[in-house]
Structure 1
Amino acid sequence: MIRTAIILAAGEGSRLRPAAPFKPLCPVAGLPLIDHALSGLAAAGLTRAIVVLGYGGDTIERHLAARSQPLCVETVHSDHREPNGVSALAAAPLLRGEEALLAMCDHLVDPALYRRLAAIGAQGGLTLGIDRRLGHDWVDPLDVTAVATQGDRIVAIGKGLEPHDAYDTGVFAIGPALFAALGSLGHPSLTDGVRLLAGEDRAFVADCSDLAWIDVDDAPALAKAEQWRALAA
């Protein structure tokens, strides 16, 4: 089972600026998003997290250092103006060729979703947690990354993709193959890397439609996240 996670937390998060100056510190049910991610990963059995920081990185790093964390936390820095694939590459040297879970700091995720991907692993390429509940109220159809699948493989991925049969939950099991794909591109996004591996028949999916997650990217999503946590309390 994978024990190390990479959390991407480098973005500017301008759509959440009214709620917090830095997205990872945006509170949901009284707890910053980055703390939700770390506690969820620990609850899923992971023991180490590499947090990739960018915009507001020094402030977020101080926040992490000031708190007692439920797992070992390391930080690296990336340029927030670069795509998220560049952020993922910043964490690669700390993995020493090992597989890792890749998660987004602005996604609230049922720990069971993390656990499922950590148990399945990258399968020689990558495995993406997907949700087949199309039209789910918590998903922004204009912002979500859509996925087209065939069996247990990804055949296409992207925002505004048609046709599609699933949503990208933002949780991956990854290994050296993804870093090699990203490293072969200039200024890559994660989607670029997934597309390369899909073309090599090495991009797999794990159905997580039975598990809750939400991308907290703007004020409406933040309100839905607050509702979810209130119901779960």
Structure 2
Amino acid sequence: MIGTGLVLAAGEGSRLRDTTPFKPLCPVAGRALIDRAIDTMADAGMTRVVVSLGYGADAIAAHLAARDWPIAVETVTTDYRQPNGVSAVAARAAVSDGGAVMVMCDHLCEPRHYHRLAAAGFGDGLALGIDRRLGHRWVDPEDVTCVATEGDAIVAIGKGLEPHDCYDTGVFAVGPRFFAALATLANPSLTEGVRLLAADRAARVVDCSDCDWIDVDDAKALAHAEAWQSALAG
């Protein structure tokens, strides 16, 4: 069972700039996205989390330092102007060989979603949580990363991919081989790292179609997230 979480929170989040200057601090039903990610990891049974910061790093780090967390929280910093794989590579040493459940800060998930990836482990390379509910109303078809599978193996991944049979939920179990693959790329993106491992049949999927999740990437998604989390709290 993986006990470490890795939260990627380095991006600019320009599409939510009217709501908040720093996307990880965007409130959803009264709680910041970054708080929800960390608390959910604690609820999933993890004992520590590494947060990769970039844009607004000082403000977000101060926010994290001001709270008494139910889990050990560490931060690393990276260049937010680089592809998102750079955010993961920045945390490579902190994660160590035990691997991590890696999540995007703006993807809200249930604790069981994280726990399922922690229990599945990273295998020969990585495991990706996927959703086979194609056409879900919370998913932006223009922005979601699509995945094609054969059994539990990833054979193709990318935005606008056709054909595809599931969505990337933004939750992974990753180990040393994933970070090593990213390090070979000049401009490493997470998707390119997955493709490298998929070419060696070292990238598999974990079905999380029964778990609710949402990518809070714009005002429409934020409204869906607010309604979902408010209903849970009510």
Runs (4 or more) in structure 1 with deviation over 3 Å come to none
Indicate the residue corresponding to 1:57 in structure 2: 57
1:231 to partner: Cα distance:
1.6
Question: Is 2:50–2:95's contact at 8 Å kept on the other side of the alignment?
Answer: no
Query: Which residues in structure 2 correspond to 1:38-57 (within 5 Å)?
Result: 38-57=38-57
Indicate the residue corresponding to 2:20 in structure 1: 20
Query: Which residues in structure 2 correspond to 1:1-233 (within 5 Å)?
Result: 1-233=1-233
The residue type equivalent to 1:55 in the other structure is Y
Query: Matched residue pairs, number?
Result: 233
1:124 to partner: Cα distance:
1.5
1:215 to partner: Cα distance:
0.2
CA offset digits 1:193-212 (Å, max 9, x no partner): 00000000000000000000
Taking the aligned partners of 1:70 and 1:10, their CA distance within structure 2 comes to: 22
Question: Is 2:132–2:166's contact at 8 Å kept on the other side of the alignment?
Answer: yes
Q: Please provide the CA RMSD for this pair.
A: 0.5
1:95 to partner: Cα distance:
2.1
Taking the aligned partners of 2:187 and 2:61, their CA distance within structure 1 comes to: 25
The residue type equivalent to 1:215 in the other structure is D
Structure 1: gaps of 5 or more residues: none
1:140 to partner: Cα distance:
0.4
Taking the aligned partners of 2:44 and 2:66, their CA distance within structure 1 comes to: 23
The residue type equivalent to 2:84 in the other structure is N
1:213 to partner: Cα distance:
0.3
1:96 to partner: Cα distance:
2.4
The residue type equivalent to 1:209 in the other structure is S
1:187 to partner: Cα distance:
1.4
TM-score, length-normalised on structure 1?
Answer: 0.99
1:228 to partner: Cα distance:
0.4
Taking the aligned partners of 1:141 and 1:68, their CA distance within structure 2 comes to: 38
Taking the aligned partners of 2:144 and 2:211, their CA distance within structure 1 comes to: 17
Question: Is 2:149–2:156's contact at 8 Å kept on the other side of the alignment?
Answer: yes
CA offset digits 1:125-145 (Å, max 9, x no partner): 100000000000000000000
1:222 to partner: Cα distance:
0.2
Taking the aligned partners of 2:102 and 2:69, their CA distance within structure 1 comes to: 18
Structure 2: gaps of 5 or more residues: none
Taking the aligned partners of 1:93 and 1:103, their CA distance within structure 2 comes to: 17
The residue type equivalent to 1:115 in the other structure is H
CA offset digits 1:166-188 (Å, max 9, x no partner): 00000000001101110111111
1:98 to partner: Cα distance:
1.7
TM-score, length-normalised on structure 2?
Answer: 0.99
